[in-house]
Amino acid sequence: MTVFSTLLGNQPILPIIQANSSEEGVAIATAMHKAGIHLVEVVLRTPASLDALVAIKKALPDLCVGAGTITDQALLAKSLAAGSDFIVTPAVSPRLLDALTQSSVPVVPGVSNTADILLAKEYGFTEQKLFPASLCGGEQFLKAVSSVFADIRFCPTGGINEQNFKDYLVLNNVMAVGGTWVAQSQWVQSKDYEKITQACLQVLNNN
C-alpha cells in the first residue's frame, strides 16, 4: 500500500484546515493550493468537517485531502466513506490501531512518548505524528529518539510556527511539520485568504 510520505512528496508542511462550513473549507484549501500546496489535512473538530472534506475534494480534485483527529473506528469509517486520501490520529490505543491496520489509505498515528512510538511500530506504522510536539519535548525529543527508533519518521504537530518550523525540518527523522499557523483563525474570520497563501509560500520557499 502507498505510504503517507509518498503522497506528501517533497512538501515540507502538512497544512491543517479547521472549517466551520463547507464553503470556508474550500476557501482555505483554495488559498493553500494557490501557493503550491498539493496535500492538506482537514481536522474533524467541527460538525461541518466531513462535509468540508467532501466539498474540498470536489472543488479541487487534484488536491490530496486527508482526515485528522480520528479517535475511534466510527470516525475512521466516516472519513473513509467521505473519500479521505489519508488518515491522521492525535493518539494511539490498541483498539484504534487494530482498526487503523485495516485502513485502505495511508495512516499517520499520533504518538507522544517512546511507549506510543513502540506500540505504533509493533502495528507496522513507521511514519508517525508527534503530538503535541512542543509539549512532548519538541526537536530535542526527536533528536533523542532518532537512534533508538532509527526506522521511524515523524510529522511533528502542535506548537510549531513560522519561527521554529525550520528547527524541525533539519532533523533527519522529520518528513514534514504539521501546521495550523498557515491558516490562522483570525484570517479565516476576516476572509483574508491571501495571508494563508503567503504563509504557505513562506514555508515552501524557505525550506
Task: Print burial letters for 33-42: b (CB count within 10 Å at least 16), e (below 16).
Answer: bebebebbbb
Reduced to 3 states (helix: H, G, I; strand: E, B; else coil), residue 156 is: coil
The catalytically annotated residue of 24, 41, 127, 139 is 41
Helix (H) or strand (E) holding 67: strand 64-68
Q: At what angle do helices 193-205 and 22-35 cross, to 10 degrees?
A: 40
The catalytically annotated residue of 24, 57, 127, 129 is 129
How far is Cα 100 from Cα 137, in angstroms, rounded to an integer?
26
Task: Print burial letters for 1-27: b (CB count within 10 Å at least 16), e (below 16).
Answer: eebbeebbeebbbbbbbbbbebebbbb
DSSP annotation of 134: G
Give how far Cα 193 sits from Cα of 8, 67, 129, 138, 188, Å: 23, 22, 27, 29, 7
Chain-centre distance of CA 144, in angstroms? 23
Count of beta carbons in the 10 Å neighbourhood of residue 150: 9
Instruction: Please say if 129 is a catalytic residue.
Output: yes
Residues designated catalytic: 41, 129
